Amino acid sequence: MTAGADSKDRDARLQSARDLRLAQRVREALSVLDRLQAHYPQFSRLYQERGHCYVHLGDAPAAIDALREAVRLNPTLPASWDMLEQLYRMLGDLDQAAVAAQTLAVLRQLPPEVVVANSLYADGDLLPAEAGLRDYLKKDGGNVGALRLLARIGTDTGAPEQAEALLKSVLDRAPDYHAARLDYAMALLQQQKPLQARQEAERLLAHDPDSRDYLKQYGAACVALGDHEPVIDLYERLLGSEGRPGGGEAASEIADLRVWRANALKITGRQPEAIADYRIALAARPDYGVAWFGLANLKTYRFSDDDIARMGAAEARPDIQDIDRVYLCFALGKAFEDRGDYAASWQYYARGNSVRRVTGRYRPDVADACADRIQQAFTEEFFAAREGWGAADPAPIFILGLPRSGSTLIEQILASHSSVEGTQELTEISRYAAELCGRDPDCGLPLDPRAVTRLTARDARQLGERFLAETRIYRRLGRPFFIDKMPNNFWHIGLIHLILPHAKLIDVRREPMACGFSNFKQLFGTTNQEFSYGVDDIARYYRTYLGLMRHWDDVLPGRVLRVSYEDMVEDLEGGVRRLLAHCGLAFEPACLRFHETRRSIRTPSSEQVRQPIGREGLLHWQNYASWLGPLQEALGDSLTGYRY
């Protein structure tokens, strides 16, 4: 069912309940509302209608409960606040009546069009809310409340650039509009501008240092910057402070904070404490898929029989949210994998991928077309005409390729060298590509790579210098070289070479069946690596990657060092020496003892690279060979051609 049909069905059911109430068939109306809640639990107006029903029945406490839920979900419901004021006065609760009256008075001072748009927005009716706002802004273009709401709609509908610009204009008009500044900080973070987002959060905290929302936003910006140590204490402070919501809201917030803290502990190598926090999160919310997956994603954690039974029961519930089902399926897949029950493991991995793929937007034809356009734009002649362009600094080392190829291992080896700092998977290069070329809304890939051909020598140098300046925040050790381990940068090798001609480029490549299956069984966050949730897409993406890397080898011969994960496992010292030589670094024995290096690692392989290298992963996919025939067939000649 489409979103439009979905809202029509929802509104029709609400109207049916309203008609029954007006016909004095209140109990039937309440039954309709119960069924409506099962399908649309966040629909504020159903709770308002339930409040009307209980008022009709003379049950004031039940009416208050329903109306309080309505205004929790949607604070811009004048009728709900009006009824709450009257009910509280009737029960003698004058303080709560005054709060309701004050809120109602504020709403009545606002333009009715903005109140209606807010109400529509709260119930997820984004298109009619946007249409109403745009009509209103034609006559009152400077209304900061309307502009802020329009920005929030832009964020929710995939237009973060528009949201950022709108919110900046709001703050230019009203610099003390703190709610808009919080939205602005969120928009900056969504736009992969964590330093600016943290600066905005700091401004908010200067105004109110104890605000939970401001502290959470500051923590999110720190995490995006790779600054994990301070958020461990910050989340502990939030867990211990007063002012949390009550009831189920408190349990949900505790679960979230514990998971966020556990993630930071995991990244900084404090695994036992991370496990403890994941466990506390599950005590607060037993079916919390994110927490179960957090334990699985440690890679070294082993689930008990009781754990598996609890996860299985939660995943089997018909009313569980899809996102929790996905997390639980991947956690159960890992749990049965560790026990050697590969049939059960595959069943859960396949189910998790199937559910996740439904919500994805990846389109392989878009990726293939982008690869073709890149090859047409970045020719040998293009680079010959621009030789010597860009910033001369040799500090960046780019490790790229496919996810789950062994790139975290290579990063950890290099970061064990006294001259190299490991940072994280940085997003600056993809952001520059989007600024120059546009970004496909489904795959996030460049729309018009030829736009790069319009850069001048001065533009290229300035963009390289901008990269060096904007990544300085991640370089805390002051070492001469630093790593950007964003695997997707293989799409942008031409841009990197143009703006940073002396940067080192390392392509980490893994045998296609092992790499493909490893991607299939790994759940990536939010919208990252959406190609990985179906074997056909994985195989096609692998072939596209090989084709593009062959192009870079042709037009920039010798520019990219190819590192075979399997060769590194078989001959660690030889591989390390070759890697260091490419980077112009002297050999250091510490690089062979990479597992002893203490540093924050954000990728799913964080715990694996804190152990000595092993051969276990080379042929592990063969345990699933019975189900991987379609992947093998779809990979075709890539099964042998990946080495060339």
Domain coordinates in residue numbering, the chain? 394-641
Which fold, 394-641? Rossmann fold (3.40.50)
d(CA 177, CA 257): 27
If one compares 526 and 389, the residue with the highest pLDDT of the two is 389
Determine which helix (DSSP H) or strand (DSSP E) holds 23, and give its type and residue range: none
d(CA 522, CA 135): 46
Helix boundaries (H) for 174-246: 178-190, 194-207, 212-224, 229-240
Q: What tokens appear for 117 in the block?
A: 């748009």
d(CA 89, CA 213): 32
Q: What pLDDT score was predicted for residue 527?
A: 72
In sequence order, what are the residues at sequence separation of 6 or more whose Cβ sits closer than 8 angstroms to the Cβ of residue 262?
Answer: 273, 274, 275, 276, 277, 278, 281, 291, 294
Q: Is 565 helix (H, G, I), strand (E, B) or coil?
A: helix
- The burial class, CB within 10 Å (0-12 / 13-18 / 19+), for 408 is buried
- pLDDT at residue 552 is higher than 80: yes
Residue type, 339: R
How confident is residue 1, by pLDDT bands cut at 50, 70 and 90? very low
- Residue whose C-alpha is closest to residue 396's, from 302, 546, 501: 501
d(CA 349, CA 374): 34
Residue type, 273: E
CB 383 within 8 A of CB 496: no
d(CA 279, CA 132): 46
d(CA 448, CA 430): 13
Give the pLDDT confidence of 271-297 residue by residue, as tens digits: 999 999 999 999 999 999 999 999 999
Number of H helices, E strands in the chain: 32, 5
- pLDDT at residue 602 is higher than 80: no
How confident is residue 612, by pLDDT bands cut at 50, 70 and 90? low
If one compares 377 and 110, the residue with the highest pLDDT of the two is 377
Residue type, 281: A
How confident is residue 603, by pLDDT bands cut at 50, 70 and 90? low
Neighbours of 162 (CB within 10 A): 16
- pLDDT at residue 4 is higher than 70: no
d(CA 349, CA 343): 10
Residues in the chain: 644
d(CA 205, CA 189): 17
How confident is residue 242, by pLDDT bands cut at 50, 70 and 90? very low
**DSSP state letter for 268:** T
d(CA 526, CA 600): 21
Give the pLDDT confidence of 13-24 residue by residue, as tens digits: 999 999 999 999
Q: Is the dihedral of CA 602, 404, 350, 622 positive or negative?
A: negative
d(CA 546, CA 510): 11
What pTM was estimated for this model as a whole? 0.82
- pLDDT at residue 604 is higher than 60: no
Angle at alpha carbon of residue 203, lines to 197 and 207, rounded to 5°: 140
How confident is residue 615, by pLDDT bands cut at 50, 70 and 90? low
Residue with tokens 């080379």: 618
Q: What are phi and psi of 588, to 5 degrees?
A: -130, 130
If one compares 8 and 463, the residue with the highest pLDDT of the two is 463
Q: Is 563 helix (H, G, I), strand (E, B) or coil?
A: strand
d(CA 615, CA 585): 27
